[in-house]
Amino acid sequence: MDVNTGRYASPATAFAIGSYLKKIAFYLEGLSHEVNKTVLENQKEQKRRKKITLPSTKDIRSLKTYLEKRQHVHLEKLKEKFKFEVWKDLLGVTLTLVQLFNRRRAGEIERVEIDDFLQYERFNENNEMMVNLNMREKLNSTIMFVF
């Protein structure tokens, strides 16, 4: 392009280059979306398959006992006199007890895929949970899914 006149010596070549640049930009944009989509899917899969070490039954019992004591203390304080901070703490303790009772987050099971099922782990006989079960319970609980 001539800067003085603002004209191209070969306008067809300039036009073709502009068209090719638009096509390349369109292709790169599509590629970018495809890469991002694949990355997000891989991140979700890795997060879902991450192995988590669960707390022991003893630790869960200790937590439950501690929470129940705190719940009782807060209830007694509220019976004496209402205080917003005590009420708020009681709500937090109660919510934690409900989550401890449920043991699973909402929607966790519905997201299980076939690959997750195929990678199940079996309990071994020395597992802390298996030791406390009777024979019938042991036979019914030989498969554990690890999410």
**pLDDT above 70 for 74:** yes
What tokens were used for 13? 């070549």
Same domain, 1 and 46: yes
Same domain, 1 and 41: yes
Q: What are phi and psi of 52, to 5 degrees?
A: -120, 130
Q: What is the pLDDT of residue 144?
A: 47
Domains of the chain: total: 3
**Is there a contact between 90 and 78 (Cβ–Cβ < 8 Å)?**
yes
Same domain, 5 and 42: yes
Rounded to whole angstroms, how far apart are CA atoms 145 and 1?
67
Find the mean pLDDT for residues 49-60.
80
Same domain, 60 and 84: yes
Q: What is the pLDDT of residue 84?
A: 93
pTM greater than 0.75? no
Rounded to whole angstroms, how far apart are CA atoms 68 and 61?
10
Residue 97 sits in which domain range? 54-103
- In this prediction, residue 128 has a pLDDT band, given cuts at 50, 70 and 90, of low
- CB-side exposure of 132: number of CA atoms within 13 Å? 5
